[in-house]
Structure 1
Amino acid sequence: MATRGGSTVVSFLTVLPLAVVMIAGPQILSAIFLATSEGWQRNSGVFVLGAALSISLVVAATFFLGVGATGQGLSGGTLNVIILVLLLIAMVRTFLGRGQSEPPKWMGRLQAATPQFSFRLGFLLLGFFPTDIITSVTVGSYLAAHDFPLTDAIPFVLVTLVLLASPSLGMVVLGERAEAILPKIRDWMNTNSWIVSEVVILFFVASILNGLLG
């Protein structure tokens, strides 16, 4: 049983890197497109809101399922193995998709996106995109397996949302200069996002293996 004072620091440092995995790929690309679209303030806002709802739902559902499973005899070590398998699946999916340098066709709709479309996109993309649902399930399962409270997922959710909102925040701070900078960032992320994802997932895999072997 982890103490409340120690659990916040440990779980925060463990789940925080996964926030990068959550937004690497079409997630941050969508945020950049929306930040340069008509009505970008409203579209970006509801996009992040939709993401906040879906991420929180998936993490909470997995957490409570994990708590129930542990209470019925599924050990924390077994849950760690499940988490490790999920992370390895995420690594394989990321590697296999590394050559997909072109944005999905539906991104063409983002320049003329409506608030309703932006909200649905944020909810579905951050909640049910394969890599993201694996990541959120990993966070919820990890907290349950280590007896950490669900509130320790708050830093993970908040940092994910801040990163997701960074293009629109850039528009607020930089104004027209951001319109020239954001496409360059979009192109770089489109080319290198899989490498960023692999490095962060590998970090978490190492952390889980250290716990299992230790």
Structure 2
Amino acid sequence: MDVPILPLAITMMAGPQIVSAIILVTVPHAVRVSLAFLCGVALAVTGGVLVMLLVAHLVGGGVSLGSQHDLGSVGNIIKYVLVGLLVLAALKNWRGRETSEPPSWLSGLMTAGPSRAFSVGLLIIVLMPSDLIVLLTVGVHLTQGGGSGFAGALPFIVLTVLIAALPLLVRLLFRRRAETAMPAVRDWMNSHSWLINIGVCALFVVLILSGG
């Protein structure tokens, strides 16, 4: 098990991703809809890991990524560039906090069925820049760390899907309490999306630097 990449699963679902999961447990037929969403997430994360492993392998084949302990290695330089991009993203969210609004497509999830939930679960990973950065980091880390490959990414994939499933698990376990609490949680996360995005960027920066 490649432990250093496991915390990155948290950043995969932080932000609009977990908000989507919370919204979907408040819709009619929530269990069926949420399961479709989880299938989309699982497919996207699995496919994304495979693609980024291939990218890291191709880059490593032409240019050595070097050791994780060598601060000047190509692999670590890639991580530092990602950190810089995340810091800029956090500053952008801070500057725009007064006018920040959640993506318009989030409100449309209130009437989502299984097919749309599956599409959202898939696209919210493959089209989200922060998630692509996470997947690239995973690919570089696994390639740079000795080539554990896809098998080394399996715990990361499982943990990501488990985090995505937390709102559904809470609903199933607590039922009426969850049905009452989830809409309030959803509304708070929608109105504080800028703060969540900054938190995600900060957490990701810490994870990249501590895992390097």
Shared fold (TM-score greater than 0.5)?
yes
Aligned to 1:92: 88
For structure 1, the 5+ residue unaligned runs are: 1-7
Contact 1:48–1:164 (Cα < 8 Å) also in 2: yes
Residue correspondences, number: 199
Mapped pair 1:112 → 2:111: yes
Aligned to 1:83: 79
Superposition deviation, residue 110 in structure 1: 1.1
Contact 2:41–2:161 (Cα < 8 Å) also in 1: yes
Superposition deviation, residue 22 in structure 1: 1.1
Q: C-alpha offsets along residues 100-148 of structure 1, whole Å, 9 cap, x if unaligned?
A: 6532111222111021111110001022211111111111111111124
Contact 2:93–2:198 (Cα < 8 Å) also in 1: no
For 1:3-152, list aligned pairs within 5 A: 8=1, 11-12=2-3, 14-76=4-66, 77-98=73-94, 99=97, 101-149=100-148, 150-152=150-152
Cα 1:95/1:23, change in 2 over 3 Å: farther
Contact 2:86–2:205 (Cα < 8 Å) also in 1: no
TM-score (normalizing by structure 1) = 0.84
Give the Cα–Cα distance (whole angstroms) in 2 for the partners of residues 195 and 132 of structure 1: 14
Superposition deviation, residue 33 in structure 1: 0.6
Q: Which amino acid aligns with 1:119?
A: F
Tell me whether 66-75 or 170-179 shows the greater mean CA deviation. Answer: 66-75
Q: Which amino acid aligns with 1:137?
A: L
Which structure's residues are more often helix, by fraction? 1
Contact 2:26–2:183 (Cα < 8 Å) also in 1: no
Q: Which amino acid aligns with 2:208?
A: V
Mapped pair 1:197 → 2:200: yes
Give the Cα–Cα distance (whole angstroms) in 1 for the partners of residues 32 and 77 of structure 2: 42
% identical equivalent positions: 33
Give the Cα–Cα distance (whole angstroms) in 2 for the partners of residues 94 and 155 of structure 1: 28
Tell me whether 27-36 or 76-85 shows the greater mean CA deviation. Answer: 76-85
Give the Cα–Cα distance (whole angstroms) in 2 for the partners of residues 111 and 117 of structure 1: 11
Mapped pair 1:182 → 2:172: no
SS at match of 1:116: helix
Give the Cα–Cα distance (whole angstroms) in 1 for the partners of residues 47 and 28 of structure 2: 30
Contact 2:49–2:138 (Cα < 8 Å) also in 1: yes
Cα 1:92/1:166, change in 2 over 3 Å: same
Give the Cα–Cα distance (whole angstroms) in 1 for the partners of residues 197 and 177 of structure 2: 27
SS at match of 1:103: coil
Give the Cα–Cα distance (whole angstroms) in 1 for the partners of residues 100 and 9 of structure 2: 22
Superposition deviation, residue 65 in structure 1: 2.3
- Root-mean-square deviation over aligned CA pairs: 1.9
For structure 2, the 5+ residue unaligned runs are: 67-72
